Amino acid sequence: MSAKYKTTIGMEVHVELMTKTKMFCSCPNAPQDLPPNAATCPVCLGLPGSLGAVNKEAVRLGIRASLALGCTVRDVAWFERKNYIYPDLVKGYQITQGEQPLGEWGHVLITGDDGNEKKITIRRLHLEEDTAKLTHVDGATLIDANRSSTPLMEIVTEACIDSAREAEEYVRKLRAILVYNGISRCRIQRGEMRVEANVSIAPPGAKELGVRTEIKNQAGFNHMRSAIEYEEKRHAEVIDSGGTLVQETRGWDDVNKCTFAQRSKENAADYRYFPDPDFPSARIDPAWVEAERKSMPAPYEEYIAALRSGGLADADIDAIARNDALGFLRVAAEADAAKTALLAKRLVKDVFALVNSTGTPLDSSKLAPEMLRDAVALQESGKINADGFRQVLARLYAQGGDAAAAAKELDLVIEQNDDAVRAAIAKVLAESEKMVAEFKSGKTATRNALFGKVMKELQRKGDPKAVGALLDEMLS
Ligand SMILES: [Zn+2]
C-alpha cells in the first residue's frame, strides 16, 4: 500500500465444529458424506411445532476454542434469531449469538509488518448454525439442507490488521490453533473454514476509518490475500478520482483476478435480532469452564517450543504443521511424552510418504493417532521389522483397525523362536557351500549375501539384529 493511505482490516472467520450431530437436533453433522437432504428433521428444517435442544458438545468446543484463544468465557450466553430471507436459510431466520457471545477478548500472536510480535485482538467468538447449501446447475438452483443447522463458530477480530500479509498470517495461525486443539478440521476446500475480510483505507492519522467493503468467503489463503490487495488499490483509485465508495459485500473472481459487488451491506437493524424463545438464556457453569481449562493441551506456541527443545528439526515441525498433524502427534504421544520425537520422525518419514503415495490427506485417512503409536511400539519391541512396520501402517492408513491384529493378518509377526531361525540358517548354509567356503577363505562380503538368503528363507519376518547375530555365531 502506498504511504498516502493506511489500510485497516478486520476479519470474520467461520469454522464448522467437529461434532457428531447438528447444533439443535440429533441429525448427523456430516453434510457432505450423505445423499442430499438425507440428514434433516423437523428441527433443522424449522417446521412449525418443532423444538430442539442445544448441542452440549458444540458448546464444549466453543469453550475450548475460547480458552485456546485466550478469550473470557461468559457465564451467561444466549441465542438470538437473525431474520432474513434467502433460499439457503430454510427457516427464514438463523439462530446465532448477538449481544451475549460465548467468548470475548482473546488474541492471536503474529509477526507484524514491522517485524515485531503483534497481538491480533479477538473481539468475540460465538456459536451459531450454518445454512443449507445451494448448487446452481443449468439455470436451476438445488438446495441441500444437510448443512442446515450444523454447528458453526464465528470469530471476529478488532479492526487492527494493517495489511493483506498480516491478515493471511492471522488466518493461518488461527487455523493452526483450531486444528491443533481438535475444534475443527478447517478444511478450506470443504468449506469448513470460511474467511471474510472488512477492508477500508484512510489517510494516515485520520480520525475515522474509511468506507469499508466486506470481501466474502474467499476459497483459500491466496484468494484472500489477492482480494484484499485488490480492494486496497480499488479504494485508492475511487478516492483519488473523486468517486464515492459504497459500503457493500464483494466477492472474488479468481479468473479475472478482481472483486465484484454482490450486495449492499445490511446493518444489524435490518436483521431484527431478538432472543430465540426456544433457547432462553443459559448459564455456563464456571466449574465446567475450569474443568475444560484443566484438560486443555499445552498452548500451541508452547507445544511448538517443546518440540524444538525436544530435538525435533524445524523442517520436521514445519512438515507436521503443514500436514495439520500437530494435534495428531500430540494425541499419539499422550500416553508417553518421551516418545514424541520418535513418533514425530515416523510421522514425517512413513505417514507423510503414505499421504503422498495415496493422495489421501492424513485427516481423511483411517489412521488414528493410537494406531501409529501401537504400530511403532510393535516394531520397537521387535515383533515386526521395518518392512513389516511399513506394511502395517499402509493397512491402517487405508482401513483403520488394530495394529497387532493387522500385523498378524498380514503374517508379519517376526519369527522370534531361535530354533526356527537356526534351522533356517542351517538350511541356507547347507545349500550355499560355495559361499560359505568363500567366506571362510576371507571374502567377508559374502556374509551379507548369506544374510539376505536367510531373511528370504524367513519370509522377511526375521528380526535383522537377532538373525545377524545367530548367523555370525553359526558361521564362526
Ligand atoms: Zn435435524
Gap from CA of 106 to ligand 1 centroid (Å): 32
Handedness of CA 318, 319, 325, 330 (dihedral sign): negative
Q: Please tell me whether residues 206 and 158 are part of one structural domain.
A: yes
Instruction: Report how far residue 251's alpha carbon sits from residue 134's, in angstroms, rounded to the nearest whole number.
Output: 16
Q: Please tell me whether residues 11 and 39 are part of one structural domain.
A: yes
Which grid coordinates are listed for 338? Answer: 518421551
Q: So what's the pLDDT on residue 243?
A: 85
Q: So what's the pLDDT on residue 37?
A: 94
Q: Do the Cβ atoms of 27 and 45 come closer than 8 Å? A: no
Gap from CA of 43 to ligand 1 centroid (Å): 5
Gap from CA of 32 to ligand 1 centroid (Å): 15
Q: Please tell me whether residues 50 and 176 are part of one structural domain.
A: yes
- Kindly state whether residue 116 falls inside one of the protein's structural domains: yes
Q: Please tell me whether residues 324 and 210 are part of one structural domain.
A: no
Gap from CA of 110 to ligand 1 centroid (Å): 39
Gap from CA of 176 to ligand 1 centroid (Å): 30
- Kindly state whether residue 292 falls inside one of the protein's structural domains: no
Number of folded domains that form the chain: 3
Among the candidates 386, 409, 432, a domain finishes at 409
DSSP 21: B
Q: Please tell me whether residues 318 and 343 are part of one structural domain.
A: yes
Q: So what's the pLDDT on residue 457?
A: 84
- Kindly state whether residue 291 falls inside one of the protein's structural domains: no
Q: Please tell me whether residues 128 and 262 are part of one structural domain.
A: yes
Gap from CA of 27 to ligand 1 centroid (Å): 4
Strands 213-218 and 193-202: antiparallel
Q: Please tell me whether residues 34 and 104 are part of one structural domain.
A: yes
- Kindly state whether residue 19 falls inside one of the protein's structural domains: yes
- Say which CATH number the domain at 463 has: 1.10.10
- Kindly state whether residue 288 falls inside one of the protein's structural domains: no
Gap from CA of 143 to ligand 1 centroid (Å): 15
Over the stretch 128-140, which tens digit does the pLDDT of each residue have?
Answer: 999 999 999 998 9
- Kindly state whether residue 180 falls inside one of the protein's structural domains: yes
Angle between helices 314-322 and 300-309 (to 10 degrees): 140
Among the candidates 409, 431, 451, a domain finishes at 409
- Kindly state whether residue 357 falls inside one of the protein's structural domains: yes
Q: So what's the pLDDT on residue 265?
A: 64
Over the stretch 352-399, which tens digit does the pLDDT of each residue have?
Answer: 999 999 999 888 889 999 999 999 999 988 888 888 999 999 999 999
Q: Please tell me whether residues 150 and 29 are part of one structural domain.
A: yes
Gap from CA of 44 to ligand 1 centroid (Å): 4
Residue type at position 193? M
Gap from CA of 35 to ligand 1 centroid (Å): 15
Q: Please tell me whether residues 190 and 257 are part of one structural domain.
A: yes
- Kindly state whether residue 23 falls inside one of the protein's structural domains: yes
Instruction: Report how far residue 298's alpha carbon sits from residue 306's, in angstroms, rounded to the nearest whole number.
Output: 9
Q: Please tell me whether residues 168 and 31 are part of one structural domain.
A: yes
Gap from CA of 229 to ligand 1 centroid (Å): 40
Instruction: Report how far residue 44's alpha carbon sits from residue 22's, in angstroms, rounded to the nearest whole number.
Output: 8
Residue 19 gets the label, from left (phi > 0), alpha (psi -120 to 50) or beta, of beta
Q: Please tell me whether residues 429 and 345 are part of one structural domain.
A: no
Among the candidates 236, 254, 283, a domain finishes at 283
Q: Please tell me whether residues 157 and 248 are part of one structural domain.
A: yes
Gap from CA of 325 to ligand 1 centroid (Å): 31
Q: Is 465 exposed, middle or buried (0-12, 13-18, 19+ CB in 10 A)?
A: exposed
Residue numbers of the domain that contains 422: 418-475
Q: So what's the pLDDT on residue 51?
A: 92
Which grid coordinates are listed for 7? Answer: 489500510
Gap from CA of 99 to ligand 1 centroid (Å): 26
Gap from CA of 29 to ligand 1 centroid (Å): 9
Q: So what's the pLDDT on residue 67?
A: 97
Gap from CA of 149 to ligand 1 centroid (Å): 7
Give me the tens of pLDDT residue by residue for the chain, a chain 476 residues long: 557 899 999 999 999 999 999 999 999 998 888 899 999 999 999 898 999 999 999 999 999 999 999 999 998 878 999 998 888 888 889 999 988 899 999 999 999 999 999 999 999 999 999 999 999 999 899 999 999 999 999 999 999 999 999 999 999 999 999 999 999 988 888 889 999 999 999 988 888 888 899 998 777 888 899 999 999 999 999 998 988 888 888 988 888 899 998 877 666 667 888 889 888 777 899 999 999 999 999 999 999 998 998 888 999 999 998 888 998 999 899 888 888 999 999 999 999 999 999 999 888 889 999 999 999 999 988 888 888 999 999 999 999 999 999 999 988 887 667 788 888 898 999 998 888 888 888 888 888 899 999 888 877 777 788 888 888 888 88
